[in-house]
Amino acid sequence: MTTRPSMLILSYSPIARDARVLKQVVRFTQDYDVTTCGYGPAPEGVVEHIEIPESERYNDLNGSLITLKRYYTAYWRLSAVKYSRQALRGRKFDVAIANDVEAVPVAVRLRPRRGVLADLHEYSPRLHDDHALWFKRITPWFNFIVRLYVTRAKAWSTVSRGIVDEYEKNFGFRAELVTNAAPYQEAEPTPVGTTIRMVHSGACLRNRNLHVMAEAVAEAANDVTLDFYLTANDPPYLQELKDFAATTDRVTVHDPVPYAQLAGILNGYDVGIHVLPPINFNNKLALPNKLFDYVQARLGVLIGPSQEMIHYTDEYGIGEVSASFERDDIRAAIEKLTPESVTAFKQNAHAHAAELAGERQVDVWVSLIDRLMRGRR
C-alpha cells in the first residue's frame, strides 16, 4: 500500500463554488490527499475540509494600522488569516496551492516540504485603483505583502499575459499563464438565421456598462437581438435594464441559470458579447471566463478593445472587436455582423474549442506542482 503525497489548497473563497479553485481540487484529488481550507462546504474528493466561518472575513483590514503603515500587523490580524492559521497550526503538507495574495503568507508560514504555488487571480496591488483613496492607502499594503511573502513562493501562476508581465516588472518573479478557460464541452455550432442572436451572461454591475451594449443593439441597423442572463448584484440597475428592455423587442433580460446549464443555454445563440470598460487596471487586462464560455458554446464573440481578449479573438478568428467602449463604436461593430461572418466565427470557435478548453490550462498547474515535487523551481 502506497501513501499518496499531501496537498493543501487554501482559498479565502467558497471553494465548492469557485470555478478556478475547483479546477485545482478536481485535478489534484486524483493524485494527492488534498485538504482544503476556505469558506462554505467541502468540495467533493478531498480528505478534509477546514471551513472558515463566514463571520471571519479575509478583508477586514484595520484602518488605523494601515494609516500607521504597520502592514505586517495589519495582515496577521485579518480575521480569516487568524482563523486559518490557528486551524492549520502544526499540520504538515508536501505542497500547497495558495489562491490569491491574501492566502500566500499563511501557506508560506506552514513551510510545506516542497513549497508553495501561489495562484494569483488578479493583480492585487491595483485591484481598485479607480478609487483614489483605496489606491493611496491599500496599494502600499498589497505591495508589502507581495514583496515579503508572495516572492517566497516557489512557483506562481496568474490569469492573463499582462498580469504576468506586471508581477515580473514590479516584483521580479515570472508567473505562468493559467487562463480562466471553461471546461471542454461536446457541442456543435447551431445554424445562424436571418436574425443574429446575441447573448451576455454574468454579474449585473453598473460599471460593466451593460446598458450601453443594450442601447447599441437596439439602435443597430442590422437584424440583431440581445438576451441577458444576469445575477442580481445591483437590483436597482437590474430593474433599469428590465425597464429598457420593455421599450424594445430586441433586448430581453432573463434570470441567471446554474453554471452547469449555461453552456447548453448559450449554444442556442450566435454571438456572445462582452465589452468591458477599462475602469481599473485589472479590467484593462481582463481575460474573463465568459470569453471561454462563449467558445465552448460554439459562439462567435463581440468584444471591446481589451488587449487580452483581442489576442484570442484575432488569433483564432472568432469575432469582431469594437473600436472603443462607446455606444456608437459598439453599434458599428454589431452592424458588421452578418449571417455569413457569424457562421465563420462559430466554426472557428468549434475548431479551436479543445485547444482553448480549461483542461489544457490545468496541465500548467500539474507541471508546476510536478517540478516542485521533484525539488525544482
Quick one: how far is CA 263 from the chain centroid?
A: 17
Quick one: how far is CA 89 from the chain centroid?
A: 30
Whole-model pTM: value is 0.89
Split the chain (377 residues) into runs of 10 and give each run's mean pLDDT.
88 94 96 98 97 97 97 98 97 97 98 98 94 96 98 97 97 97 94 98 94 98 98 96 98 92 94 96 92 97 96 97 98 98 98 94 96 85
Positive or negative torsion for Cα 198, 200, 204, 207: negative
Distant-in-sequence contacts of 182-185, Cβ < 8 A, 24+ apart? 182/263, 182/289, 182/292, 182/293, 182/295, 182/296, 182/357, 182/358, 183/296, 183/357, 183/358, 183/359, 184/296, 184/353, 184/354, 184/357, 184/358, 184/359, 185/263, 185/296, 185/297, 185/353
Contact present, 306 and 233 (Cβ < 8 Å): no
Residue 1: per-residue pLDDT: 46
CB environment 222-236: b (16+ within 10 A), e (fewer): eebbbbbbbeeebee
Cβ-based neighbour number of residue 22 at 10 Å: 17
Residue 19: per-residue pLDDT: 87
Cβ-based neighbour number of residue 270 at 10 Å: 25
**Separation CA 372–CA 364 (nearest Å):** 13
Q: Set out the domains of the chain in order of their start, with CATH numbers.
A: 6-181+357-373 (3.40.50.2000), 196-352 (3.40.50.2000)
Residue with cell 493583480: 123
**Separation CA 247–CA 169 (nearest Å):** 49
**Separation CA 115–CA 94 (nearest Å):** 7
Backbone angles phi, psi at 351, to 5 degrees: -65, -30
Residue 3: per-residue pLDDT: 87
> How buried is residue 86: exposed, middle or buried, by Cβ count under 10 Å (0-12/13-18/19+)?
exposed
**Separation CA 52–CA 37 (nearest Å):** 7
> How buried is residue 20: exposed, middle or buried, by Cβ count under 10 Å (0-12/13-18/19+)?
buried
- What's the CA angle centered on 17, arms 145 and 119, to 5 degrees? 30
pLDDT tens digit sequence for 97-116: 999 999 999 999 999 999 99
**Separation CA 70–CA 146 (nearest Å):** 15
> Which residue blocks in the chain are alpha helix, DSSP H?
19-28, 63-67, 71-76, 79-88, 104-110, 132-148, 161-171, 210-219, 235-245, 259-266, 281-284, 289-296, 307-316, 327-335, 339-352, 358-373
Sort strands 155-158 and 116-120 into parallel, antiparallel or unpaired. Answer: parallel
Q: Which has the closest alpha carbon to 276: 265, 262, 287? A: 287
Residue 104: per-residue pLDDT: 98
Q: Which percentage of the chain shows pLDDT scores above 70?
A: 99
Contacts of 76 by beta carbon, 8 Å cutoff, 6+ apart: 82, 85, 105
Residue with cell 472587436: 321
pLDDT tens digit sequence for 292-330: 999 999 999 999 999 999 999 999 999 999 999 999 999
Q: How far is CA 19 from CA 182, 240, 252, 296, 362, in A?
A: 9, 29, 27, 15, 12
